[in-house]
Structure formats: C-alpha cells, structure tokens
Amino acid sequence: MEALKLKLKQQIIEALNLQDTKPEDIDDNAPLFGEGLGLDSIDSLELMVLLERNYQIKVEDPREGRKILQSVQTMAEFITSKQVA
C-alpha cells in the first residue's frame, strides 16, 4: 500500500504537471480537490484517465469518481480493492 501510494503521488504530479510539488508534500489523507492541492473538475477527469491507463480501472460515473478521488488514500484503497477482486 505504501509503495502504491508513493507511486500514485508521482503519477499525479506528472499527469497534472504540479511542477513545484514533491511526493512528500502530498498528505495521504489531504483532500485533492478544493482546499488541499487545489485541483478542479478537469483534474478529476485527468485522474480518471490516469487510473484507466495505469491501473486498467474505468470509472464511468463522475459521481462515483468524486468518491474515489477524495485523497491519495481513497485512490489507493480503491485500486487495491479492484486488484484483489
């Protein structure tokens, strides 16, 4: 899980071009949107692309997406649950 979360952080930084952000700057449980990293709805679509390309997980419903993309922690848990299933 820890390795997955670190990898996710690196992938998020690259996908969203968060130039001055390092993986250690992102707290596992900090909200990605709004206050936290200050991401917006277009970023959430970009993160869904990230999940699909790197983890073969397709999120169809934007409302479901919002739950999965709350934080790095929720993303990692979702990926793990899909991989087990």
Partner 1 sequence: MKAKCYIRGCAAISPQESFAGHFAPQLLTLEGKSMMRVKEPDYSGFIPPNSLRRMSRVLKMGLVAALQCLRNSNTSVPGAIITGTGRGSLQDTEKFLHNIRDYAETALNPTPFIQSTYNSVNGLIALQQQCTEYNNTFVHRGFSFEHAVLDSMMQLAEGNATEVLTGAFDEMTDEHFYIKSRIGYWKNELTQPAELLDSNTTGSISGEGATFFLFSSKPSDICLEGIKMVYKPSGEELQQALQAFLSSQDIAAEEIDLLVSGRNGDTQYGHFYDGVEGEFSDARVFYFKPYCGEYDTAGAFGLWAAVKELEIGPAKTVLLYNNFYGEQHTFMLLRKAAI
Partner 2 sequence: MAERVFITGMGMISAIGNNVEENFRSLRAQQSGLGHTRYIETIHREVLPVGEVKLSTEELAERAGKPGSPEFTRTTLLGLAAMQEALMSAGISDPRELPAAFINASTVGGMCDTEKVYFDILDPEKEGTFLKYIDTLDCADCTQRIADETGIREYVTTISTACSSSANALMYGARLIQQGLVQRAVCGGTEALTRFTINGFNSLKNIDKQFCRPFDQQRNGLNLGEGAAYLVLESESLVRARKARVMAELSGWCNTNEAFHPTAPSPEGDGAFEAMRKALAMSGRAIADVQYVNVHGTATLNNDASEGKALERLFGTEVPKFSSTKPFTGHTLAAAGAIEAIFSVLAINRQMIFPNLNFSEKMEELGITPETKLLEEYPVRNVISNSFGFGGNNASLVFSKYEG
Q: Binding residues for partner 2, per CB under 8 A?
A: 40-42, 45, 48-49, 60, 62
Nearer to partner 1, 1 or 52 (CB): 52
What's the closest the beta carbon of residue 52 comes to partner 2, in angstroms? 11
9-44: b (≥16 Cβ within 10 Å) or e:
bebbbeebebeeeeeeebebeeebbeeebebeeebb
Q: Does 45 bind partner 1 (CB under 8 A)?
A: yes
Q: What is the identity of the amino acid at 5? A: K
What's the closest the beta carbon of residue 61 comes to partner 1, in angstroms? 16
